[in-house]
Structure formats: C-alpha cells, structure tokens
Amino acid sequence: MTDQRSVGKWIFWTLFAGLVIGAVYWAARPEPVWVDLAPVVTGSFEVSITEEGKTRVKDRYLVSSPVAGYLHRVSLEIGDPVEPGQLLTEVEPMPAGILDARSRAEAQARVGAARSALNSARQKVAAAEAEAQFTADELVRLQSLSSKHFISEDRLQQALAAKNRAQAFLNSARFDEEVMAHELAAARTRLEVSAAQSNGGEAFDRVGVRSPVKGAVLGIVRTSEGVIQAGEPILEVGDPTALEVVVDVLSFDAVNLSEGVQVRLDGWGGSSLQAVVQRVEPVGFEDVSALGVKEQRVQVVADIVSPAEHWDTLGDGYRVDATFVLWSADKVLQVPASSVFYADEGTYVFRADDATARLVPVTVGKSNGLHTVIEEGLGEGNLVIRHPDRQLEHGDRVRYRSR
C-alpha cells in the first residue's frame, strides 16, 4: 500500500512539473512576427521606361515674305487646310530698291541656288523611292514566308515598320522637292520684281505668298497688314497627319535606348498605339523637375507605326505617355521586388512554410522596380514575405497580416 502511494505521488509531481515547465516555456517563447505575404506567380513581365512626351509635325514650313513691301492681312486661321500653291496672302513690293543692280545680282544668285537645291531634292526623292520599293518588295517576300511559318512574327513586324519608315522618308523627300520647286519659283519672282517688270513687260502690282505643301496652318506669326521685310516669317504650315513623338528622358535612361526600340503610347485619350524609336539626340540639356531638382535630359524621337486611322484625332503638340519597352517575356516566374534582399554576397527571400519563415537563396533575373524575375530557388505557388524585417531570422514563427 505504501509503494502504491509513493508511485502515485511520483506520477503526480512529475505531471505537475511538466505542466509548470510547459507553462513557463509557453509564456517565455517569442511572439510570432506579423508579416505580409505574396505568392510566387508566373506571368508576363516587362522592363520599361515611362515618360511624358508630346506629338509634333515632322516637317514644318515657316512661310516668309519673298520681298520687302506691304503685307496684306492674313485671313486664314490655325487649322485651315492648304494646298500646294494656294495663295496665303499678298505683298505689295516697295519700289525703293527695285532697280538696284546689287539686288538684281543677288536675286539671280538665289535663282541658281534654288535650282541646284531642287535638283538635289529630286535626287533624294529618287533614292527614297528606291528604298520604299525595296522595303515593299521585302515585306511581300516575308509575308509569303510567314504564311509558311518560315520566319517569326517579330521579323515580319520589323519589315512592316521598315516599310512604313521608308514610305514616310519618301513623303518627306517629296515635300522637300515641292518646297525647293516653290523656292525656285519664289526666287524667280523676286528677280522679276527686282527688274520691275513681268513676263509681259508690265509692272507687278502684288506678289503672292503661296503654300509650299499640302497640309494645314499650324501657326500664324503675322496677322495684321503692314510693312514687312524680306525673309520675315508670316505663318507656319505642315502636314498634321505626319506626326512624330518627342520625349524628354533622363540621360541615365537614355543610354539604354537606341534606334528601333519599341514604344507604347498611352494616355492621349484613345487606344494604345505602337511606335518605334527613330532617333536619340546626341546632346543633353538641363531641366528642372516639378520638385525643383536639376536633371540632365535627352530628347528621344519616335515614329508612330500604328495604322493612321487609329490616331487620326491626334494633332500637333498633344500630350502622350510613352513607354519604352527594354525587355519583355510572356511566362516568367516572378515575385515582388520588395521580398528580395541581399546578404552575405548572395540574394535571398523569406519563404513562409506553415507559419514559419524559411531563408531561401535564390537566383534573380531582370527587375522593373515592382517585380523581380526568379530563375532558381522558388516554385510557382510558394508564399514569400514582403518587406522582411531586419530582425526576422530563419525559423521564426510568423503571423499573416495579408496574403
């Protein structure tokens, strides 16, 4: 009987001691750390630069007075369409210097220079026509190959963009030829005016100022009539359907851009448009940001390659958001960039396994500031800890604040 009591007491005190030790351990153990979790997902990924830009007409022509005289009032308004050779306004020549020999000699020299410029423009048109024909034939050839799946879709899109650019260069060369032709006509008119006689031998009453190209009035420099000097600007014309996009980017970002980089245009009031970098200016300039910080910026010019009917409501000087796509992929494993950190010359994340933080080494790829590509170390569906605290260690208990 005494032995049974001793065994009972021993069991009782053993259980009591275990309960006390368990209670002490439970009270002394550290509290779980509150964390935010994010899943490891597979999806599209893009590394890009987004800046605000604006549209502008590619070829702008500042129409000036061919002679000194008295300018008649310009009746046109901004946006009015004009045709090549259309009369914009008239200038009554001033008779004071009409018979001056020096003026006549200078006018003859200008006629010769304008004639040479016209010949040069015609050669450029011929070269542009050859390039446009070549790119068109190349596109037809690649389209036939694409139908048989011999080339990639990207190669076909590049050929289409090359054809569009070649056609745009051809249009620009033809505009230049028209300008040179009208400048030659203007130089001849000035020579005739300086000689104080027309082809029929009668004195000129007025000199017409005509549009050099087909397009619209983009700006009016001089609206009121009055005395005007030769070469003084009157108005500006251009083709509003031939637009390009100018974007001021930080010089830090400009070094990653080159001709041919794809650009996505948004934020202009319509659907997303596709463009391609045509030129990165070699000279930067200093600008002051909205926060008053001095920045070095570079102008980047992009051509719109989307069909014209998709952006026919865009005009000169319109605002757009330009996104330069530096790298993209359709299916890559990625995590929030805030979950990745560097320690001991390695890259790590904390993976949440059954309410426990596990320190996992990973191999990372591209990052766009919001997400980072994971090449090795994690699998789709894993949960990682965002913004891990510096006090968090491997094996710590965690409590989920959000997932």
* Between 308 and 27, the higher pLDDT residue: 308
Above 60 in pLDDT, residue 384? yes
E-strand stretches of 305-370 = 319-336, 341-343, 346-353, 356-361, 363-367
Query: Can you tell me the distance from the alpha carbon of 158 to that of 384, in angstroms, rounded to the nearest whole number?
Result: 40
As a whole number, the mean pLDDT across the chain is 83
| pLDDT, position 363 | 92
Lowest mean pLDDT among 3-7, 71-75, 371-375: 3-7
Lowest mean pLDDT among 86-100, 318-332, 335-349: 86-100
* Between 292 and 107, the higher pLDDT residue: 292
Above 80 in pLDDT, residue 189? no
Above 70 in pLDDT, residue 358? yes
Above 70 in pLDDT, residue 16? no
Band (pLDDT 50/70/90 cuts) for residue 201 is very low
Q: How far is CA 31 from CA 21, 34, 235, 398, in A?
A: 18, 9, 76, 8
Above 70 in pLDDT, residue 27? no
The percentage of residues in the chain with a pLDDT greater than 90, rounded to a whole number, is 35
Q: What is the CA radius of gyration of the chain?
A: 36
Above 90 in pLDDT, residue 396? no
The whole-number average pLDDT for the span 204-229 is 87
The whole-number average pLDDT for the span 377-401 is 86
Name the strand (E) or helix (H) holding 219: strand 215-220
Query: Can you tell me the distance from the alpha carbon of 331 to that of 42, in angstroms, rounded to the nearest whole number?
Result: 6
Q: Which domains does the chain have, with CATH numbers?
A: 33-44+330-402 (2.40.420.20), 48-55+241-328 (2.40.30.170), 60-91+205-238 (2.40.50.100), 99-195 (1.10.287.620)
The whole-number average pLDDT for the span 108-134 is 79
pTM for the full predicted model? 0.59
| pLDDT, position 243 | 92
